[in-house]
A and B are shown apart, each in its own frame.
Chain A
């Protein structure tokens, strides 16, 4: 983990899916549902927490962009850059 965003999102997601931060970071390219036993309800919870924390709007259909830790970090990064632009 290098950037502050990576650290923050890893910590948030690790708490929600009850996994050690370092382990989740190692598995950052693994898929939540298929590989890490995250169910659809937890995925919705993650979406709502990220919206609140970063004050961004994530439409429900974007849940398909949040398939792994890495894709979630990339998605939030893009959203934050769009907001600044």
Chain B
């Protein structure tokens, strides 16, 4: 349905932090199914772990989040949406059921539980060859990029020096 170039255009994240390869199914404001091919060439495998490559659970959670972002971005496109917003996860309850290795193909399904004006609660399920490997519930908030930039903590060189010298 959508290829990697479409995914890359829709997500606010960029390389090397995109964890969705394709969108397979989509129903506006309801559901999305995405695919992620996990290859041995992923940049994190040399460190996680040197003895055996395992996809970090936090990054599988990120893949669920990105599927949710695509669901909302596509839903907005379907009805003349807004730009300049990013989605921040506020709460997450996640169960990691079994590990993900290089060579695995993940099917990531995100369904809307409840939509609010500027937030949403979604469930995510990650399946590998028909087996559930991760399930998660996320609460998201859409915020403007400008507001995030304004709220960023900025340390002056003097302040950093003080903090280091403590």
Contacts and interface: CB of A to CB of B under 8 A. Distances in A.
Contact of B90 (A41, A48, A51): A41
Given A44-B119, A44-B139, A45-B121, A51 B114 contact: yes
Nearest to B90: A41
Interface string A16-38: 00000000000000000000000
Interface residues of B, number: 10
A47 B113 CA distance: 11
Nearest to A63: B116
B136 interface: no
Contact of A42 (B91, B113, B116, B117): B91
Interface residues of A, number: 11
A4 B66 CA distance: 40
Contacts, number: 29
B137 to A, nearest CB: 8
Contacts of B105: none
Interface in B85-125: 90-91, 113-114, 116-117, 119, 121
Contact of A41 (B113, B114, B119): B119
B75 interface: no
Nearest to A59: B116
Given A41-B90, A42-B91, A48 B119 contact: no
Nearest to B119: A44
B116 A41 contact: no
Interface string B119-134: 1010000000000000
A42 B119 CA distance: 11
7 contacts: A39-B90, A41-B119, A41-B139, A42-B90, A42-B139, A51-B114, A60-B116
Interface of B: 90-91, 113-114, 116-117, 119, 121, 139, 141
Interface of A: 39-42, 44-45, 47-48, 51-52, 60
Given A41-B141, A51-B114, 8 more contacts: A41-B90, A42-B139, A44-B119, A44-B121, A47-B114, A48-B114, A48-B121, A60-B117
